[in-house]
Amino acid sequence: MTFEDYMRQVEEDAREAIAESADWYESWDGMYDALFTEDAVTGNGSGSYTFGAARAAENARGLAFDDGFIAEARAAGYGTELFAEGPEAVDVVARCLALGLVSGALEEIYDRVRRTVAA
């Protein structure tokens, strides 16, 4: 997957999570924190989105030379040592970084869902 693919997938997964649970969180910050640790969005809660190193390696294979991912990872303080942590770690970090990048659009969705629930 490319980093763009990660952003699309994370946004899709997060949209589903927001639709299912936005009414549980009174603020976007609370919702964002939940998305950040949600295994079905980032895998950050357990340390794995795929629950398999082979699948994570397949997903993350394209990130080693993906300029967008490399730039975001560097900005977050990660260097090449990230890849030594294993494919599941790389996959989760990519998903967490992607969540941060798509969070603006997700916040709008959260607000819309909350307004609908309140109505």
pLDDT in tens, 90-100: 999 999 999 99
Q: Is the pTM above the cut of 0.85? A: yes
pLDDT in tens, 34-54: 999 999 999 999 999 999 999
C-alpha–C-alpha distance, residues 49 and 114, integer Å: 27
Number of domains, the chain: 1
Per the structure, the complete domain to which residue 111 belongs is given by 3-118
What phi and psi values does residue 99 have, to the nearest 5 degrees?
-60, -45
Per the structure block, which two tokens stand in for 84?
């030594």
